[in-house]
């Protein structure tokens, strides 16, 4: 009886350790929008994220799973190419090669395991966006 109790306690403790090592980043919601880009000398129309260019800073920690919901508010398909991140090829936004694109009004959820630290950037890889 005592042996079964100790096995149960040990199994519970191991489960807690296993669960505590799985880390999940905050979920980010990005929109892809037409924006006005003001350089100080001129204004032009462009593509931005969450209504601005540059878009927001996304912060992750090594070992997390990054969850990024991207909603396309453009009148054309779009994609996101993640520079430097090691990720599944289906998540790398090169339309027609590794990714079908995000159609107007649709949302795509990226789930990227963060396996390395560093500073990286993202941008569209669709047409001339």
* pLDDT value, residue 34: 95
* pLDDT value, residue 90: 81
Does the pTM of the predicted model rise above 0.85?
A: no
* pLDDT value, residue 117: 75
CA-CA distance, 111 to 48, in Å (whole number)?
21
Q: Is the sign of the CA dihedral 106, 107, 112, 114 positive or negative?
A: positive
Encode burial over 63-90: b for 16+ CB neighbours within 10 A, e otherwise.
ebebbbebbbebeebbbbbbeebebeee
* pLDDT value, residue 26: 75
Helix, strand or coil for residue 53?
coil
CA neighbor of 66 nearest in space, from 58, 55, 74:
58
* pLDDT value, residue 7: 47
Helix, strand or coil for residue 15?
helix
CA-CA distance, 101 to 58, in Å (whole number)?
21
Which segments in the chain show pLDDT lower than 50? Answer: 5-7, 9-11, 13-22
Domain residue spans of the chain: 24-123
CATH superfamily name and code, 24-123: Cupredoxins -  blue copper proteins (2.60.40.420)
* pLDDT value, residue 33: 95
């Amino acid at each position: 009886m005592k042996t079964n109790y100790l096995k149960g306690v040990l199994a519970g403790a191991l489960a807690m350790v296993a669960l505590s090592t799985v880390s999940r980043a905050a979920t980010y919601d990005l929109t892809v929008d037409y924006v006005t880009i003001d350089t100080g000398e001129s204004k032009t129309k462009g593509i931005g994220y969450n209504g601005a260019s540059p878009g927001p800073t996304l912060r992750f920690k090594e070992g997390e799973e990054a969850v990024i919901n991207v909603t396309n508010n453009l009148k054309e398909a779009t994609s996101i190419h993640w520079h430097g991140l090691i990720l599944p090829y289906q998540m790398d936004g090169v339309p027609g090669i590794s990714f079908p694109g995000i159609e107007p009004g649709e949302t795509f959820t990226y789930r990227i395991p963060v396996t390395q630290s560093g500073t990286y950037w993202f941008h569209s890889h669709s047409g001339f966006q």
